[in-house]
Structure 1
Amino acid sequence: MTERPIRLFGDPVLKARCEEITTIDDRVRGLIADLLDSVKLPGRAGVAANQIGVGLRAFSYNVDGEVGYVINPVLAEVRGEKELIDEGCLSVPEQWHPTPRHPWARVTGIDLDGNEISVEGTGVLAQALQHETDHLDGYLYLDRLEKDERRAAMKQVRESTWF
């Protein structure tokens, strides 16, 4: 299909909980194709459907050469104590902030054929699984920052040229 433009902080679609996908049809197949095309660009670890303006529960990921997607993802399990990991977001350009994330995560969901799938990992993949699932629940990584860091991040947003 096509790479889609990324919605930026302030767009209401990013703060709304996405709806579950109940029917796999051509519209959903097109969404997944667009998510995969959108995540394949350099520097992208994940793209959630609402980041391209679609309020449905799906995301794509691209970590260490592994590209995939999950429909109706659920963050099924996390392991380890949260650690502060530098994190950025396509919807909040040019910013990186230490964000508390678990070092291991597993997401479950379905594929385009309705088969159950599970994606799990450590490092950047664990971070991406948590980050993208957050997007679909209406959270940005800024919402996860510790109080002082969030205050500084919001100041950066207000002073940015894109906001």
Structure 2
Amino acid sequence: MIGVLIELLVCVLLATTIGYCIVLDRRLRRLKADEATMRRTIIDLMTATENADRAVAGLRAVVEDCDKTIGAQLRVAEQHSAELAGRIQSGDDVISRISRIVETARGGLEPAGPAAAPRTAPSVAPPPPPAVSPREAPEVASNGANSRLAATLAAAEAFAQRARRRLDSQAA
């Protein structure tokens, strides 16, 4: 009887072991299924990382190209800006000289300063500057900029008329 009890106990323990093995088998299968999913996820993650690395390298190359291009364009723009500033200064100097000549011609005074134009002896006295009609020029206000512009315009017209007369007298 003790032998039967021991055998019965061994059978129960064996059945329990088989049941526990079945539970462990199910857990291992789920773990392996999860492992396969994890492997796929890791492979996808590695592929995405490699693609991102290539994209970052490409973006760095594009940024370097843009930096070089923008730098070159900026240098060219600075050169053009300096050139334009020089031309504007030259234009201001010319306008200043012409306005001094006009003021001198109107006032009958000798031009003063190194920027004054050299006087040549005219063969005929220059005529007075022509009057500018409201249709030909914008309205001349009493402020300095418009009166200077009008004076410069009148001087330029007088200069052009004198040059035409000289050409006509040389042609005749």
TM-score range, shorter chain: under 0.3
1 or 2 for the larger relative contact order (CA 8 Å, sep ≥6)?
A: 1
Larger Rg: 2
TM-score by length of 2: 0.24
Structure number with higher helix proportion: 2
